[in-house]
Amino acid sequence: MKILSRNVRGLGIPRTVRRLQHLMKIHNLQKVFFMETKCGYANKIEVDLDGIRGGLCLARRNEVCITLRNYSKTHVDAMVEDNEVRGKWRFIGFYGTPYVQDRDDSWVVLRNLHNGEEIHWFVCGDFNEIMHGFEKKEGLPRDERRMEIFCNVLANCQLMDVGFSENWFTWEGGNLPETNI
């Protein structure tokens, strides 16, 4: 299953929406998760903006069966019935706070979402944190303690970094997602 996850700040311009719809068609994307947006797709689960910030949208094609489990201003939790793997798996679109002083609140949400179910789960989005200093390209270096806390949260939730290439992922055979270049 091909999934696109992107922070698109202010998506809603008709030209941009048409471009994304075209991308979904030519790349056969079954699901997209947008952060900081109101996207206007017909098959979607949308969390409204918080004032002028935020907003989440999980859009899908008709043939993808998704059942909403829960949502908040920072996540969308859905069960996906996947014909490719002949089973169900859990998708969580996650948007961590960009504010360092509120980052612990994001980790509480992520830990609460990890409920120990015996089902594969895939979390994608923008955590607004990195695992290693070399991931930061510009600006001031990240605080080592904050990165360590993030790594511990991922370990507590039994999540691993599967890598990415321009935010394109493919779910392979019910196992962990693999990067699709």
pTM of the model: 0.70
Residue-level pLDDT at 106: 95
Taking alpha carbons only, the member of 130, 159, 125 closest to residue 147 is 130
CATH superfamily of 2-161: Endonuclease/exonuclease/phosphatase (3.60.10.10)
Q: Which pLDDT score, from 0 to 100, does residue 179 have?
A: 35
Residue type, 60: R
pLDDT of residue 170: 37
CB atoms within 10 A of CB 4: 20
Given this model, what pLDDT does residue 57 score? 77
In Å, how far from its chain's centre is CA 7? 9
113-78-56-166 Cα dihedral, nearest 10 degrees: 90
**Cα distance between the two ends of the chain:** 13
pLDDT of 126 reads 87
**Dist. CA 25–CA 116, nearest whole Å:** 35
Low-confidence ranges of the chain (pLDDT < 70): 1-14, 16-17, 29-32, 34-44, 48-54, 164-181
Extract the tokens encoding 59.
């859009």
